[in-house]
Amino acid sequence: MSEHAVTTGPKTRTLVPTAGFGNPFSKWRKSLGGWVLNTWVAFVIIVIYLPIIIVVGASVDPGSYIESRAFLTFPPRGFSLQWYLNIHPRLWQSLWVSVSMASISAVFGLLIGVPAALGLIRCNWRGKIFMGALLRAPLQIPFIVIGVAFLQAYHLAAEVFHINLVGSFTGLVLGHVFVASPYVISAVGVQLQRFNPSMEEAALIHGASRMRTFMRITLPIIMPGIYAGGLYAFLISFGDVTISLFLAGPDTTPFPVQVLHTITQDFDPTVPAMASLVCIGSLFVLLAVQKLVGLDVLLRGGGSG
Amino acid sequence: MKKTTFKQSLGLLGVAAGVLGLALTAIPQNATAQTKDFGGIELTIATFPSTWEIRFREEIGPAMEKMNVKLKFIGGRSDEFLAKLILARGSPTFDVVEITDHVFPELLEGGFLNKLNHGNIPNIEFLNNAMYNEYKVGYWQTQQAILYNHEKFAELGIPKPTEPEDLLHPKLKGKVIFPSLTGYGAVSVITAIAKKHGGDEENIDPALPILRKFSAQVHSFADFTPMSQAMKNGDIYAAFSSGGSARRLRDAGVPIGIHHLVIDGKQGVPSFGYLGSVKGSKHQEAAEAFINEAIGLEMQEGIFINNGTIPTNSKLQARFAQEVGQEKDPFGTLYRLLAPKTIAGMYYLKFDMIDRRKWGKKLQRVQIGK
Amino acid sequence: MRANWGLVLLPPLVFSVILLFGPQIMFLRASFYEDLGIGRLGPDFTFINYILAFTDSFYYESLILNFQLSASVTLLSLFVAYPVAYRIARMTPRWAMIILAAIIVSAFLSVAIKILGMIILFSANGALNRFLLWTGLISDTIGIIGTIPGIIFGLVHLSISFKVLLLFSVIQTVPRSLEEAAEIHGAKRWRVYWRVVIPLSLPGIISVSLLSFNLIMGAFVSALVLGGGKIFTLPVLIQQSLMLFSEFGISAALSAILMVFVFTINIISVIMVTRIHAARLAVT
């Protein structure tokens, strides 16, 4: 992507030209191609949401415990919030584990990924490409291998160094930071590539301190990459089951692992209710993000590179 | 209670049950040791997840709290816990472990189990002596059976199934769920098929061609949730599962029929679940107190009513036997063999002849049609 | 100034390298020793596990299946997601915001719960199957568990949200001004796509596709549940060898093979893309 980045320069703040300038693509609405494309978007969104609608719908089924403990019923036979009111504390606890784990993984992913991206793009060390490959290597290791290998390493660490990571929150986060940081590196890297370092140099020449230059010039430019990378890291950690399956302990079982157990072994009707709450909760989080920084900033950074 | 043979004790129980009848419900006291104080330790139990964990928390949690023990849970299956114990290199992350019969030999051989002090498990006197030994104490039993949607079977004109192979009926193509062949739930079905064709627990080869036919024809290989969901949706008409599952399906409105497996002319093939104390755990005594509660009345009754297992505690077995044949059948005794005589006459799998890994290697391949 | 950037790179590099090599090497070491059961390994260095993996069709066929599934899911989901991502990138901000939010929310939901929803969606007596039977598109009900089309549908479904997000940010980097310029110069719209939008987003498309390919190659939970025990991908096999049979040797060998395989596919793709790109630059 870097080849093109040179020609594009820093991006404009808005997603698309504002209405005042006229939308050059408004004619789409009339053209056949535009109609097909719009229909496709609507179709895909509907298909994405069908299973979710089913789970949310079934979660308000008023069936008794006896009727509901074997399976979900859709369409619901009525409306009841009974399962929402009876969610077991251990599910709340596991949701809390998931949220805090994903947030902390995202933060540490950024702490690792942002300097790595800066270093990779800016430094002129010889082995730069090789180092880049090393930093992105976690993307190529299957999650199941990461889970097993980390668990084994944690047990060894406990035996040799007396560091207790098995089943601990730290151990869980470490595994997720490992797989999530490459996403941050990519997202931030893309922003950096399209930014002209001479601006920084100019600032330095004009006597600004390095810290100040970084805060005033570099950081705002890579900010979209930071938001996007943070979001990807959060989603990777929040949605992961495979790594957690190995690294989780009794107090640190993330919600998706509980869901997996419910789906494969023994059904618990409060789990779909909890999943629906996660859905609604994430909507509120996004609304808050939209209010605070604007959703577009989350996604303006590239996720590839 | 004097130690007697299995059959004798069951016979005795039958008599006792007849005499005591429901009066027993009025004597809920467990034979508990004096309440100990373990000083606020955390005891980690490796057992089945989801509602099973909830059952432990609800039935045993309060009693353990009185002993100043906090319960924690790791969810999974017995074979997964074995793998985790191996990985742990002698520093296990749990104190009590769920043991299923087919994994027990490896747990023992690997030296992962503590010898239990039966003195700390006074409730053991209510167990038949085949239900425990110095490393494990049995706390649940299920009976594998053929479950079928009797309305669908009648509609399609398929005769009621009496043996596993009946589910190979051409009209049932894609309409049967088999438990995962490598799991515990399939052991009894596989043995039943093997024995019918001249094999046994040691030699399951005669069963493999039949199992291959199943693999080509079944909807999928799955545990309880996918099975019950598919049964309810009408995606499948029959499955191999336990009597407890049958009751849960009946309660949820599925027209379920049941036929218990028959091996060597004996009807009913039970599987058992045990608890053991993990070697390397610092809390063996608390683990024993926990195991004692697991075979106590509250837990045994809790999992009977809610999860559909059959108690190993003979006091409760006798009590629930009273429910059999009653007009209203809230506990679904229809689906579980509870009468002491029937229990005594069941076929008990010879687990010492089963090499889980040897079985597994073959069955893994059969399952994907090789 | 330059030396500084190198120093900034150092800590993340150290962190990644330790986590990359420490656990992996330890784990993969087991692949060179014979399995003796209950996690015990033989004393001698041997390639027996690798020989087994490459001579036993049970193992190598599941790798081939794994690759076929991942490649088809990656391609299919690209065709599904690209137009969506493109359209969102060219929408009015308000609509783009709403649709992006909808997609992010769907990405928050756990894989397993979506699969449960899909099982109900595809139930034999469900509305979907009845509708399809009524239209005559299918002659028998379709299910999602244990069939190849079912797994492919499920995996495409599960990867679509994340893929739209990633592709959206790729297409964002293609300046609209180029498209407009091309249109003003009289190029038909499909030509604009073909000659401007797709080539400019191609490097991004490739890296997003590789990302999702890697994720699907290593997917365990979705493959396990959707496979219904009738279809084993390599991750499912690795998990079974390890967690059911405690065979550290063979599971480590299978992991090593999976890793090397995925790595090779990534390298080949990157080299091919660089070549194609160089060729195109030379032509124009």
Across residues B233-238, what is the average pLDDT?
A: 92
- The residue written with tokens 């004996």 in the block is B266
Q: Whose CA is closest to C108, among A215, A277, A196?
A: A277
Q: Is A265 helix (H, G, I), strand (E, B) or coil?
A: coil
Question: Which of B43, B45, B51, B140 is best to mutate for the A interface (most A CBs within 10 A)?
Answer: B51
A259 contacts in C (CB within 8 Å)?
110, 112-113
A67 contacts in B (CB within 8 Å)?
251-253
pLDDT band at B20 (very low <50, low <70, confident <90, very high): very low
What number of residues does chain B have?
Answer: 370
Q: How far apart are CA B183 and CA B112, in angstroms?
A: 21
Kindly state whether A278 is in contact with chain C, defined as any CB-CB distance less than 8 angstroms: yes
Q: What's the gap between Cα B21 and its chain centre?
A: 26
Q: Which of A151, A156, A264 sits opposite B225 (nearest CB)?
A: A264
Across residues B152-170, what is the average pLDDT?
A: 95
Residue range B133-155, pLDDT digits in tens: 999 999 999 999 999 999 999 99
Q: Which residues of chain A have pLDDT under 70?
A: 1-30, 194, 196-197, 296-305
CB atoms under 10 Å from CB of A36, counted, come to: 12
Cis before A220 (ω within 30)? no
Q: Whose CA is closest to B237, among B338, B314, B146?
A: B146
* pLDDT at res. A96: 96
* pLDDT at res. A4: 37
**To the nearest whole angstrom, how far is the Cα of A305 from the nearest Cα of chain B?**
38
* pLDDT at res. B28: 45
CB contact under 8 A, B370 and C245: no
pLDDT band at B47 (very low <50, low <70, confident <90, very high): very high
A-contacting chains (≥3 CB pairs under 8 Å): B, C
CB atoms under 10 Å from CB of A27, counted, come to: 9
* pLDDT at res. B18: 47
* pLDDT at res. C281: 62
**Least CA distance to B245: which residue of chain A?**
A70
Q: How far apart are CA A171 and CA B74, in angstroms?
A: 16
Across residues B341-357, what is the average pLDDT?
A: 88
What is the DSSP pairing of strand B220-221 with strand B176-178? parallel
What dihedral angle (degrees, nearest 10) is formed by the CA atoms of A120, A122, A124, A125?
Answer: -30
CB atoms under 10 Å from CB of B356, counted, come to: 23
Q: Whose CA is closest to A232, among A290, A194, A179, A289?
A: A179
Selected residue with higher pLDDT from A90 and B322: A90
Q: How far apart are CA A26 and CA C91, in angstroms?
A: 9
pLDDT at B331 over 50: yes
pLDDT at B23 over 60: no
Q: In C48-202, which ranges are E strands? A: none
Residue range C49-92, pLDDT digits in tens: 999 999 999 999 999 999 999 999 999 999 999 999 999 988 88
What is the DSSP pairing of strand B269-277 with strand B220-221? unpaired
pLDDT band at B169 (very low <50, low <70, confident <90, very high): very high
Share of chain B above pLDDT 70, in %: 90
Query: Chain A window 164-193: which residues touch C at a Cβ cutoff of 8 Å?
Result: 174, 178, 181, 186-187, 190
pLDDT at B327 over 70: no
* pLDDT at res. A28: 52
Kindly list the residues of chain A whose beta carbon comes within 8 Å of any beta carbon in chain B: 63, 66-73, 88, 90, 151-152, 155-156, 158-159, 166-167, 249-251, 253, 257-258, 261-268, 271
pLDDT at B91 over 60: yes
ipTM more than 0.95?
A: no
* pLDDT at res. C2: 45
CB contact under 8 A, B222 and A264: yes
Helix axes A89-122, A128-136, angle to 10 degrees: 170
Q: Which of B79, B87, B220 sits opposite C228 (nearest CB)?
A: B220
Residue range C263-280, pLDDT digits in tens: 899 888 888 877 777 776
Report the DSSP beta bridge partners of residue B271. Answer: B142
Selected residue with higher pLDDT from B9 and C128: C128
Residue range C13-47, pLDDT digits in tens: 888 889 888 898 888 898 999 988 888 888 999 99
CB contact under 8 A, C119 and B181: no
Selected residue with higher pLDDT from C183 and A233: A233
pLDDT band at B1 (very low <50, low <70, confident <90, very high): very low
Selected residue with higher pLDDT from A136 and B3: A136
CB atoms under 10 Å from CB of C116, counted, come to: 28
Region at A302 (left for phi over 0; alpha for psi -120 to 50; beta for the rest) = beta
- The residue written with tokens 């005033």 in the block is A216
Kindly list the residues of chain B whose beta carbon comes within 8 Å of any beta carbon in chain A: 44, 48-54, 57, 72-75, 77, 87-91, 93-94, 222-226, 228-229, 231-233, 245, 248-249, 251-254, 307
CB contact under 8 A, B87 and A155: yes
Q: Is B273 helix (H, G, I), strand (E, B) or coil?
A: strand
* pLDDT at res. C283: 56
pLDDT band at C140 (very low <50, low <70, confident <90, very high): confident
Q: Whose CA is closest to A183, among A144, A244, A230?
A: A230
Share of chain C above pLDDT 90, in %: 39
pLDDT band at B25 (very low <50, low <70, confident <90, very high): very low
